Amino acid sequence: MYLAAGLGNPGDQYKMTRHNIGFEVIDYMARENKVKIKKLKFKGIYGEMNICGEKLILLKPQTYMNLSGESVSQYCSFFKIPPEKVIIICDDISLPAGKIRIRTKGSAGGHNGLKSIIQCLSSDAFMRIKIGVGAPENEGYDLADYVLGRFTKDEIPVLEKSIINSASAVREIITAGAESAMNKFN
């Protein structure tokens, strides 16, 4: 069994913001596979699907970003999912808009959602699909305002493609392994 958790902030005011790109991937996967993400448990909403006989839980934590680990760790504990079978999908300002990077472990890199998950799982050995949302052009720009801002018209087609690629990467991780997914999508 795998857990794919898209990170974001709950509430309509955060929909289609840079920080919520993880939610967009989970919503896309749910639509494509006719899965309803409506069950509420452990501070998150989720749905279940199968990929080549492997059960996959699609999760959208309903805590704010910096507390994402509370929901992720409770799902892992309840469903007995080890960190190695957790796939976190989140934004990354150090990558150009639309570029994705897959990693099997590592630091939080300044991302508060990842920091919370590392702390709550007591492990950094979970997979991450990081989606580039670009960085603010102005160095003095407030980072919180930037990641909570909406995508520009020019960024939307690029990010739609990265959402599709990220969903494909989840499938590749489950069917062929993380190494194969990294070779194909990084």
Active site annotation includes 111: no
Give all strands (DSSP E) within the chain, no chain letters.
2-6, 39-41, 44-51, 54-61, 86-92, 100-103, 127-132
Nearest one of 163, 169, 168, 171 to 54, comparing CA atoms: 171
The DSSP code for 53 is T
Non-local (6+) Cβ contacts of 132 within 8 A are 91, 92, 93, 94, 95, 96, 97, 98, 99, 100, 101, 162
Q: What are phi and psi of 74, to 5 degrees?
A: -70, -40
Cβ–Cβ under 8 Å, residues 145 and 138: no
Q: Give the H/E segment covering residue 120.
A: helix 112-121
**Choice among 7, 10, 19, 65 that is catalytic:** 19
Catalytic sites, residue numbers:
19
